[in-house]
Structure 1
Amino acid sequence: MQPIKSNGYSVYFDDHFGELKTFLAEGSYSRVFFIADRNTYEKCLPAVLAELPDLQQYDVIEVDPGEENKNIDFCIGIWQMLLDFGADRNSLVINVGGGVVTDMGGFAASTFKRGIDFVQVPTTLLSQVDASVGGKTGVDFGGVKNIIGTFTQPKAVFISTALLGTLDRRQVISGFAEVIKHGLIRDKAYFEKAIEAAYRPVDTALIYRSVEIKNEVVTTDPFEKGLRKILNFGHTIGHAIESYSMLPGNSPLLHGEAIGFGMICESYLSHIHHQLTGEELNTIIAGLLRIYPYYPIEATAYPELIAIMLNDKKNTNGKIGFALLSAIGNCAYNLYVSEREIVDALEFYRELR
């Protein structure tokens, strides 16, 4: 497949990392550092290194897996390791992992010595279709997702669908949330294909189209001043549910599972607050509930969820901002919804049990 050109770099699709070999040969980097979590260190990094026989000198920085570890304390650990290993401004960081590793590794690289080069090797479906383009890096802080970060483009992204074989089914299904979202906001036919594809092995063409859709948006609006905000569909409520699920005593959700919840609620808001028809709302709900299990939540959680949403980056003057559908395949942004309407959306979800 032809690489996809993004903002100053390319996304390559190659199970054998031929383009990564070329990139390293031409880069003349003084040092190379891999950042991986415990899972990708064991399951993915050996497969990547096996395709890079000429790379003899490198160091590995290992971090703990999981969203709960995507924080400034782990970044401090990465910066310390880079210092200890003697990283200079001509060093390269290669992030091998899912969204936690690519977000945090990208942030660490983009701030170390005011920025050193990094590339992404996303190893999950979620990171391949989402974190692979856009140049967002970041960590969570104060219970709020991705609230600290930078817009910094990688030098390249290398996608290998072979690495998806290391994932369990739940992780794959989690990744489909972003695939489905891309169809909902931009391409109705792709949405219909994505809903059905969730039950079959992932194919490269599906990932390629998802990356294309996101890339069309982020190259138009690299710094999220306008159109790029449509990528937040499902995420205002979804991020709040994800953060809430990680509190002690709750059942943690994967990112995509929480976004599935959020897309149902925000589709409801799209129907009552925007132009989405009742028929399309029912189509979306039926498709998502077939893929993502119902997540029980009590009304007593609503104030905490609203408090989390009030810290969202998309808000203006204390008003909670949303991207909402006008139809399947079309999305508007900079729409503001009252707390009462958000509670109504959460109640709507509860009644689906």
Structure 2
Amino acid sequence: MQTIQANNYPVHFNEKGYEALNSHLKATKYSNLFIITDSNTNDYCLHKFLPYLETDLTIEIIEFEAGEINKNIDTCIEVWKVLTELGADRKSLVINLGGGVVTDLGGFVASTFKRGVDFVNIPTTLLSMVDASVGGKTGVDLGNLKNQIGVINVPIMVLIDTQYLETVPQNEMRSGLAEMLKHGLIFDKNYWEQFLDLNSIDFTDLDELIHRSVAIKNEIVMQDPTEKNIRKALNFGHTLGHAIEGYFLENTTKTTLLHGEAIAIGMILESYISWHKNLISEAEYHQIKSTIKSIYDDITFEENDIQPILDLLIHDKKNEFGTIQFALIEGIGAIKINQLVDNELIIKAFQDYKS
């Protein structure tokens, strides 16, 4: 499968990725090598990855407990301490082997340790393959506020190997699928239409679907690496989705949502808003709503849930001068950024979601 050239780094697929990594290790004089994993990828993926490595470097494994709840600065401090204790220096290489939590946190750790060391990302979940693999965003959450602390800094390379998906549960696969749906809705109507009937999809072609999703995100990011303009399109579904995800994460009476589960709700809500701002037709809205609801379980929102979710919107990273800005779809396959939306319309979107 053809390598995708991202912003100053390549995204390799399957066997080609390991060949590229080993060539890079031979050509570059690193002092040592650190592999950052979480408890899941340490158990299920590390033993698949290590045999591919061809190096005489000392390899150290740094593991932290899996889960979004551990994507915070406290975990970073522990990893920085371990790197220091194990003798990491500016010539060390960090390999992040895991899902989006690992690549986000590991990329941030590498980008800030001794003012930056080289790192490679090897995403092991569908979500991290189609989303975290491109764009150079690294970082951690601040309490229940998603990705509030971080930097944009690109890896040396990204390796996408779909064999790791054999270890991923179905709910995690659906979580990743949400970002693929988003890529179709904001950029490629034909790609979106491939998902209208999941029963008709030949998932033996999953590699091709992933490759197209990565290519779509990369095409957008290449135009706007630091998210000053069109890259905001990638936040469709995320303004409300992140607020919902954060609210459910901190609320002990709620079942924590996976990222893609929250984004799926966010895409329905923001499609409703797009319809009521005359950016899409009613038919397009109902197609989006019915398609997404056919894939994801309905989530119950009580009346007293809505205001706390609205309160979290003020912390969204797209906001400027205290104004909440949405990226909305303008017809399926196109986007309109920097859209202002009042709370009354957001509340109506929640009401419609529940109907």
TM-score interval, smaller chain: over 0.9
- TM-score with structure 1 setting the length: 0.97
Distance, in Å, in 2 between the alignment partners of 1:255 and 1:87 is 32
Deviations 1:158-217 (A, max 9, x none): 000111001011111110000000000000000111344586536110000000000000
Q: Which residue of 1 aligns with 2:311?
A: 307
Q: 1:268 aligns with which of 267, 272, 275?
A: 272
2:229 pairs with 1:220: no
User: What SS does structure 2 have at the residue aligned with 1:327?
Assistant: coil
Distance, in Å, in 1 between the alignment partners of 2:278 and 2:79 is 44
2:141 pairs with 1:140: yes
Deviation at 1:53, TM superposition (A): 4.5
Q: Which amino acid aligns with 2:115?
A: R
Q: How many residues align?
A: 351
Q: Which residue of 2 aligns with 1:201?
A: 203
User: What SS does structure 2 have at the residue aligned with 1:279?
Assistant: helix
Runs of 5+ unmatched residues, structure 1? none
Distance, in Å, in 2 between the alignment partners of 1:122 and 1:150 is 19
Q: Which residue of 2 aligns with 1:241?
A: 244
Q: Which residue of 1 aligns with 2:84?
A: 83
Deviations 1:301-333 (A, max 9, x none): 111001111111111222211000110000110
Deviations 1:136-172 (A, max 9, x none): 0010003100010001011100000111001011111
Q: Is 75-84 or 239-248 further displaced after alignment?
A: 239-248
Distance, in Å, in 2 between the alignment partners of 1:336 and 1:218 is 23
Q: Is 287-296 or 189-198 further displaced after alignment?
A: 189-198
Q: Which amino acid aligns with 2:193?
A: E
Q: Is 17-26 or 6-15 further displaced after alignment?
A: 17-26
Distance, in Å, in 2 between the alignment partners of 1:346 and 1:318 is 23
**Preserved CA contact (<8 Å) 1:15 1:162:** no
2:294 pairs with 1:293: no
Deviation at 1:345, TM superposition (A): 1.2
Deviations 1:211-240 (A, max 9, x none): 000000001100000000000000011111
Distance, in Å, in 1 between the alignment partners of 2:148 and 2:253 is 24
Q: Which residue of 2 aligns with 1:3?
A: 3
Q: Is 315-324 or 31-40 further displaced after alignment?
A: 315-324
Q: Which residue of 2 aligns with 1:345?
A: 349
Q: Which residue of 1 aligns with 2:12?
A: 12
Deviation at 1:22, TM superposition (A): 1.7
Q: 1:320 aligns with which of 320, 324, 348?
A: 324
Distance, in Å, in 2 between the alignment partners of 1:255 and 1:214 is 17
Give matches, 1:83-102, under 5 Å: 83-102=84-103
RMSD, matched Cα: 1.3
Deviations 1:274-302 (A, max 9, x none): 41110100110111001011001111111
Distance, in Å, in 2 between the alignment partners of 1:266 and 1:304 is 18
Q: Which residue of 1 aligns with 2:234?
A: 231
Distance, in Å, in 2 between the alignment partners of 1:157 and 1:88 is 22
Q: 1:13 to 1:331 in 2, by over 3 A?
A: same
Distance, in Å, in 1 between the alignment partners of 2:138 and 2:175 is 20
Q: Which residue of 1 aligns with 2:258?
A: 254
**Preserved CA contact (<8 Å) 1:135 1:153:** yes
**Preserved CA contact (<8 Å) 1:92 1:118:** yes
**Preserved CA contact (<8 Å) 1:274 1:325:** no
Distance, in Å, in 2 between the alignment partners of 1:340 and 1:250 is 24
**Preserved CA contact (<8 Å) 1:110 1:152:** yes
**Preserved CA contact (<8 Å) 2:32 2:57:** no
**After the TM superposition, which parts of structure 1 deviate over 6 Å for at least 4 consecutive aligned residues?**
none
Q: Which amino acid aligns with 2:295?
A: I
User: What SS does structure 2 have at the residue aligned with 1:304?
Assistant: helix
Q: 1:292 to 1:200 in 2, by over 3 A?
A: farther
Deviations 1:85-135 (A, max 9, x none): 111101110000000000000001101111111110000000000000100
Q: Which amino acid aligns with 1:18?
A: E
Runs of 5+ unmatched residues, structure 2? none
Q: Is 123-132 or 26-35 further displaced after alignment?
A: 26-35
**Preserved CA contact (<8 Å) 2:279 2:329:** yes
Q: 1:15 to 1:170 in 2, by over 3 A?
A: farther
**Preserved CA contact (<8 Å) 1:260 1:288:** yes
Deviation at 1:20, TM superposition (A): 1.9
Deviations 1:34-76 (A, max 9, x none): 0000010011111110112545520011011111100000000
Q: Which amino acid aligns with 2:43?
A: E
Distance, in Å, in 1 between the alignment partners of 2:67 and 2:15 is 25
Deviation at 1:15, TM superposition (A): 4.2
Identity of aligned residues (%): 48
User: What SS does structure 2 have at the residue aligned with 1:151?
Assistant: coil
2:40 pairs with 1:39: yes
